[in-house]
Amino acid sequence: MTVTSAPGRLYIDGAWHTGQGATREVINPATGKVVTTVPDATPGEVDAAVDAARRAFDSGVWSGLAGRDRSRVLYRAAALIAEHAEELALLETTDTGKPLQFSRMVDVGNTITHFEYYAGLAYSIDGATRQTAMPALAYTVREAIGVVAAVTPFNFPMILSTSKIAPALAAGNTVVHKPAEDTPLTALRIAELLTEAGLPPGVLNVVTGAGPVGDSLVRHPGVDKVAFTGSTAVGRRIATAAAETLKPVTVELGGKSAHIVFADADLDAAGQAAVSGFVFNTGQFCMGGARLLVQRPVYDEMLARVVGGATHVPVGDPLAPETVVGPMAGQRHLDKVRGYVELAASEGATVVAGGDRIDTLDGFYFAPTVIADVDQGSRLVQEEIFGPVVTVQPFDTEQEAVAMANGTSFGLAAGLHTRDVARAHRVAGALKAGLVWVNTWGMLDVTVPFGGYKQSGYGREYGPEGLHEYTQTKSVLLPLA
């Protein structure tokens, strides 16, 4: 495979720039081999990227365009991404280890959809007119905020960057993007494609590197807004840093989603959803179904179904069409998951499927793992593992299920399976999560907003709400007398 973005370069002000600092290796998780190198951006290079974004914003070369003109560029970007879909899918798979079929359908497909959707919304950034209690007329307008820092994680590089970049650009902002240190390749290529689509220089910039690069970007006085997806621990630090200059922040953080199966559920559908819910993207999914709660009359049957599914799910080469589960994103991610599984034995839990690295495969492969006999207070239940691991717990009553589901510090997503429509609405209303699935798992749509409750963050992505996160409201009052 040819890596399109040349090694050792950053994308600033519409052009490639040679990095002046250290470089880091980009490793293919399926083979453990080096694909290319990218720079750790220096503080000066972060300054250059922010300065380019600031000049572009202040000049009005993008923010000053009519919504329809920004829309046309974003539609062209979507078309170019579609034209280069196979290249981008292969880059994403090489970078992350996810199955190529998923990179095509999920990652590239959703990236195209995001640019198309927010291209459409660029036409409709409207304010409102209202009669006041005073003898005056008032109107409001939504304006771009300015320079946006977008900091994204390794698990869905294209989708999680696009869910920030597309609405930010649609609203007229400029962006400096810091992708995850492990998975920067598609971010660099998409920036190049957006320039080809007509995005003016400086409107989208990409700086690569590890945590200190992101910290420099978030704290930069030239940044007006921060959008972050990642762990709760890092999210807290980012929110604290942004607070120093009162930057608005959107943070979509960790999750520990409960997947509830009631005794009246369609167990065939529930079993399939339970397995896919925790192995999808090798469990590196903040809304993965990491906690399976099963009503006691069907507990043994559901556990057997999940163990059977986990044991037989195809694991292997991401380029093979039959593969469903690829490798973890890297060695440290694999080691973290292994550490949690080792904790299970010390706490008296039972590993009933999987439980270790797959040594017969090159790369960072971990077997889909099912753990039973887990206490609600266990770290296995309370902390985000972020790998292909599910805990299975029994419950007796609806009230107990809701209490267990809500009994962590997270609240990103949740789901339930039941044939009782009234129960479905009742339980969905009681779950403290920003997104609730009924009789399915993992369904997302760009028109439907989602975000966190509790320690899973604040702000919303997707839908019109996702666009509004990148605008600020100005009010104008006109006396009638």
Virtual CA dihedral for 338, 342, 348, 349, nearest 10 degrees? Answer: 20
* Catalytic site residue from 286, 384, 398, 469: 286
224 close to 145: Cβ distance less than 8 angstroms: yes
Virtual CA dihedral for 91, 92, 97, 100, nearest 10 degrees? Answer: -90
Cite the beta strand spans of 95-224 per DSSP E: 128-131, 136-144, 147-151, 174-178, 204-206
143 classed as catalytic = no
432 classed as catalytic = no
Give the residue from 212, 203, 202 showing the smallest Cα distance to 151: 212
Name the maximum alpha-carbon separation found in the chain: 82
Question: Which phi and psi (to 5°) does residue 118 adopt?
Answer: -75, -20
Task: Find the DSSP H helices in 60-174.
Answer: 67-83, 85-96, 100-102, 109-121, 157-170
* Catalytic site residue from 45, 98, 116, 164: 164
Letter string b/e over residues 187-213, b meaning 16 or more CB atoms within 10 A of that residue's CB: bbbbbbbbbebebbebbbbbbbbeeeb
- Cα 443 from Cα 141, distance rounded (Å): 33
Token readout for 335 is 């080691």
- Cα 449 from Cα 439, distance rounded (Å): 19
- Tokens 């590197």 -> residue: 209
256 classed as catalytic = no
465 classed as catalytic = no
Q: How far is CA 474 from CA 138, 175, 477, in A?
A: 10, 22, 10
* Catalytic site residue from 92, 181, 252, 398: 252
Please identify every residue annotated as catalytic: 164, 252, 286, 461
